[in-house]
Amino acid sequence: MRVGGLLLLVSLAGCAGGPPPPDWQLNSAGAMQRFRQHYLNGDTRLADDEFALAKAELARTGRGDLLARAELVQCAVRVASLDFGECSGFEVLRAEAGVEELAYADFLAGRKERRGATSAEDPVSRLVATGVKMRQGQVTPNEIAAAVEISSAQGWRRPLLAWLGVQAKLAEAAGDAEALRAIRRRIELSTTPEK
| pLDDT of the residue at 11 | 47
Q: For residues 50 and 82, is the Cβ–Cβ distance under 8 A? A: no
Please name the residues in contact with 124: beta carbons below 8 A apart, sequence gap of 6 or more. Answer: 2, 3, 4, 36, 40, 76, 77, 80
**What's the whole-number average pLDDT of the chain?**
89
pLDDT in tens, 110-142: 998 876 554 457 999 999 999 999 999 999 999
Terminal Cα-to-Cα distance of the chain (whole angstroms): 40
| pLDDT of the residue at 21 | 86
Please name the residues in contact with 97: beta carbons below 8 A apart, sequence gap of 6 or more. Answer: 64, 65, 68, 69, 90, 105
Residue 4 confidence class, pLDDT cut points 50, 70, 90 = low
| pLDDT of the residue at 195 | 43
| pLDDT of the residue at 66 | 95
